[in-house]
């Protein structure tokens, strides 16, 4: 990873504040694989580390303890054999840290969940180590991170036992925004991409620094995609499988639900997911919560409907791309993406992917509308067609983004991806009018409804543009 640090201002300020505090602190950083958790901690605190250890995926506890001791020996100059259990391992770590005769010591345990093997008693030993440090005069600044989200949330941050309330601060590390992605690609990678190229890149890789760092500046984007996903031994072809295995316990059920959601891009209800995936209700609740906390899905609902109206929608860019184009690709064409570019299938996907980008950047959209200081509720709306009691036939409709404002205004957003200015036809104008009328009827709102277009390059001037009340372009998403 390139050493230039992009974004993460709030996270670095938090880490430094807890480092400077007058007491021992445990900071837990979590987030999806490849998002930059380790990089964040090392860039911010690396010069202060007194001990650092990285857990290993599916590696026996005995081997991990041997390596743990080797690291201690290399620092202390001792020649001790491997500890018999994690209690002894942490006792030796305590002895070493106290031998430094410092007022403050810093420990970084990376991929902490992978150290917790079955029957290893790691978590109880870790809990004992932390809880018994408080009586010592030396301040311990303990930084831990892990990609296994379920472990980090359930067993560490949300622990009801010995670690209950012991985490001083949890930090969820989100993917880059479009603006941060642009900075990384152009300032770090020297790709010299314009905003449309950055957007196209984001719709495939998301704002994941590790994936973005794999791009070759001497190749066009299509060739980079072929090389990373479709070439022989393409490095990202198997990433999807390992991504879920490393993030979640019982990852097969997570994948089952994510792939089920990908079949209906506008999202599905809990009842539909239960029927389609056959996962127990309690487990489904946990899975949906964890997928939402890691930005794989979003949850939305019409505030006029009850809980059962909640919709769960897959929004992770990398996952969407992999399921759509990579998962079932036979691997016979190494230039699949280059040849497919510009086809109807790709154009349809671009339209949907752009909608998801907008959903990831609602704060930028609000800023573009000049309403950042106004309290807003952001959601979506969907209604099936029906015949009214007076015989009036109503076509169904869907609005992907509604910004319901506290100043008695609602922005009903139309999101359109186009390689040029978007042209509104007379037929589409009539569709918008009917859909707006249906929305007002069903929501019973008395708020002003403003038709808002979010496009890549703007809306083309013609007689139908008069329906547009507010207009934003992709430039606004880069704020």
- CA 347, 348, 352, 358 dihedral sign is positive
Who contacts 117 (Cβ-Cβ below 8 Å, separation ≥6)?
59, 60, 61, 64
Angle at CA of residue 38, ends 34 and 39, nearest 5°:
90
pLDDT above 70 as % of the chain:
97
Q: 172-183: b or e for each residue (b if 16 or more CB lie within 10 Å)? A: bbbbbbbbbbbb
Instruction: Give me the mean pLDDT over the 170-183 stretch.
Output: 95
Higher pLDDT, 378 or 195: 195
Instruction: Give me the torsion for CA of 216, 217, 218, 222, rounded to 10°.
Output: 70
Give the integer Cα–Cα distance in Å for 199 and 339: 20
| H/E stretch holding 141 | strand 139-146
293 versus 139: which is more confidently predicted?
139
The answer on pLDDT for 406 being more than 60 is yes
Just give the CATH number of 176-360. Answer: 1.10.10
Please compute the mean of the pLDDT values over residues 32-54 and round it to a whole number.
95
Of the listed ranges 196-200, 314-318, 454-458, the one predicted with least confidence: 314-318
CB of 430 closer than 8 Å to CB of 389: no
pLDDT of 304 higher than 80: no
Q: Which among 252, 230, 232, 231 is positioned nearest to 241, based on CA atoms?
A: 252
State the Cα–Cα distance between residues 397 and 439, nearest whole angstrom.
Answer: 8
CATH of domain 9-172: 3.40.50.300
Query: What is the predicted pLDDT for the residue at 2?
Result: 42
pLDDT of residue 4: 59
Among 21-35, 50-64, 261-275, the range scoring the smallest mean pLDDT is 261-275
Lowest-pLDDT choice from 277-291, 353-367, 454-468: 277-291
Instruction: Pick one of 3.30.160, 3.40.1350, 3.20.20, 3.30.70 as the CATH number of 362-477.
Output: 3.40.1350
Distance CA 36, CA 19 (A): 20
Q: Which pTM does this prediction carry? A: 0.91
Express as a percent the part of the chain with pLDDT over 90. Answer: 74
Q: Could you tell me which of 115, 103, 122 has the C-alpha nearest to residue 24?
A: 103
Domain boundaries, the chain: 9-172, 176-360, 362-477
Q: pLDDT per residue over 418-460, tens digit each?
A: 999 999 999 999 999 999 999 999 999 999 999 999 999 999 9
CB 6, CB 121: distance < 8 Å? no
Predicted pLDDT of residue 380 = 85
């Amino acid at each position: 990873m390139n050493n230039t640090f992009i974004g993460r201002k709030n996270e670095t300020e938090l880490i430094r504040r807890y480092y400077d505090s007058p007491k021992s602190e445990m900071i837990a950083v979590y987030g999806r694989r490849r998002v930059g958790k380790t990089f964040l901690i090392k860039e911010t605190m690396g010069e202060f580390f007194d001990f650092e250890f990285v857990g290993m995926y599916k590696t026996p506890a005995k081997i991990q303890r041997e390596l743990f001791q080797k690291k201690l020996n290399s620092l202390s100059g001792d020649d001790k054999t491997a500890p018999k259990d994690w209690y002894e391992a942490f006792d030796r770590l305590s002895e070493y840290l106290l031998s430094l005769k410092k007022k403050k010591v810093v420990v970084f345990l990376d991929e902490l969940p992978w150290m917790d093997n079955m029957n290893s008693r790691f978590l109880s030993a870790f809990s004992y180590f932390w809880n018994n440090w408080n009586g010592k005069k030396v301040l311990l600044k303990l930084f831990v991170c892990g990609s296994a989200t379920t472990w980090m949330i359930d067993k560490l941050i949300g622990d009801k036992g010995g670690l209950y309330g012991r985490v001083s601060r949890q930090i969820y590390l989100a993917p880059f925004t479009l603006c941060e992605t642009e900075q990384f690609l152009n300032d770090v990678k020297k790709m010299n991409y314009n905003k449309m190229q950055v957007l196209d890149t984001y719709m495939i890789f998301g704002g994941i620094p590790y994936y973005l760092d794999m791009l070759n500046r001497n190749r066009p984007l299509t060739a980079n995609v072929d090389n990373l996903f479709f070439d022989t031994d393409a490095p990202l072809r198997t990433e999807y499988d390992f991504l879920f295995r490393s993030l979640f316990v019982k990852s097969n059920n997570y994948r089952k639900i994510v792939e089920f959601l990908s079949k209906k891009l506008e999202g599905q209800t809990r009842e539909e997911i239960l029927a389609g995936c056959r996962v127990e209700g309690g487990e489904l609740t946990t899975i949906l919560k964890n997928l939402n906390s890691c930005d794989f899905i979003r949850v939305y609902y019409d505030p006029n409907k009850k809980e059962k109206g909640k919709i769960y929608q897959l929004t992770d860019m990398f996952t969407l791309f992999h399921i759509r184009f990579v998962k079932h690709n036979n691997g016979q064409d190494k230039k699949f993406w280059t040849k497919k570019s510009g086809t109807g299938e790709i154009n349809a996907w671009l339209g949907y992917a752009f909608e998801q980008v907008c959903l990831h950047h609602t704060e930028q959209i609000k800023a573009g509308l000049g309403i950042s200081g106004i309290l807003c509720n952001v959601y979506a709306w969907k209604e099936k067609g029906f015949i009214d009691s007076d015989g009036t036939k109503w076509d169904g409709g869907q609005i992907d983004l509604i910004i319901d404002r506290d100043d008695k205004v609602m922005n009903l957003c139309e999101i359109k991806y186009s390689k040029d200015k978007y042209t509104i036809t007379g037929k589409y104008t009539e569709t918008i009018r009917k859909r707006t009328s249906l929305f007002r009827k069903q929501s019973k709102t008395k708020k002003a409804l403003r038709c808002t277009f979010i496009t890549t390059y703007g809306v083309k001037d013609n007689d139908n543009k008069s329906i547009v009340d507010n207009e934003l372009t992709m430039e606004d998403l880069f704020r």
